Amino acid sequence: MCTAFTVPFGVAKSSSVGGSAKSFALFMSEPEKGSAPPLAEETEGGVDPMEEEELDAATKLQLEKQRRADELRAQEVFMKKSTGKYKCNNCDWEYDQAKGDKNMIGGMIEPGTKFEDLPSNWRCPVCRASKDSFTEEVEEIPGFEVNQGYGFGTNSWTAGQKNLAIFGGLGVFFLLFLSGYAMS
C-alpha cells in the first residue's frame, strides 16, 4: 500500500550498500524484496514501525500535524436546534407543533401539541402515512458545541439570526450616517 509518506512502486529509490549509494527503479511488476508492506489498517497510526524509524524529522512533524488535525476534526460537533416542525417523507406535508393539524379537513390535533404526544395511530392528513415516516427538521447552529456557552448568548444563535443582527446593524448604521447629512 502506498501512502503519502512512502515511496510508491515505479519511483526510484536509493540504497546504500557498503557506503556507496546507488539508485534503482521499482516497477509494479517487481515487488520489493521481503514481504509485502502492511496495510494501513494493520498498524496503529497507519505507518509501519520499521518505516517510522527511517522517517526524517520533517516527515515525523508532518505526521504529528496530521494526527492533531484529525483529532481536532473529531471535535467539530455542531449543535442542532429543533424547529418544532416535522416533514412527511412521502408527500412533504409539514406538521408544525405551533399549529397542530386543525387547519386540515378532519384534523383533531390542537395547536401546541408536541409531535411525540400525538397518538400512535395518528396519520398524515394528506397521504395517510404513519408517524414513522416523518422526519424532524433541525437547524444547525454554526460553531463548535463546546463554545456555545461563551459570549453574550449570541454563540447559540442560528445562521439566520446572526445574519439579521450583522446586516441589520449595518443597515441601521447606514441610516444613521445618512441622517447626519439630513441634519445640516
H/E segment holding residue 181: helix 159-182
For the whole model, what pTM was predicted?
A: 0.45
- Report the Cα–Cα distance between both ends of the chain, in Å, rounded: 76
Q: How confident is the model at residue 155 (pLDDT cuts 50, 70, 90)?
A: confident
Judge whether 140 and 157 are in contact, CB under 8 Å.
no
Q: Which range among 14-23, 62-71, 148-157 shows the weakest confidence by mean pLDDT?
A: 14-23
CATH number of 81-148: 2.20.28.10
Q: How confident is the model at residue 33 (pLDDT cuts 50, 70, 90)?
A: low
User: What pLDDT is attached to residue 15?
Assistant: 44
List the beta bridge partners of residue 79. Answer: 141
User: What pLDDT is attached to residue 6?
Assistant: 52
Residue 27 has pLDDT above 90, yes or no: no
Residue 160 has pLDDT above 70, yes or no: yes
Residue 7 has pLDDT above 80, yes or no: no
Residue 55 has pLDDT above 80, yes or no: no
User: What pLDDT is attached to residue 45?
Assistant: 52
Residue 106 has pLDDT above 90, yes or no: no
- What Rg value do the Cα atoms of the chain yield, rounded? 31
User: What pLDDT is attached to residue 74?
Assistant: 80
Residue 147 has pLDDT above 70, yes or no: yes
Q: Where are the domains of the chain?
A: 12-74, 81-148, 149-184
Q: Report the C-alpha gap between 30 and 147 in whole angstroms.
A: 53
Query: Taking all residues of the chain, what is their mean pLDDT, rounded to a whole number?
Result: 75
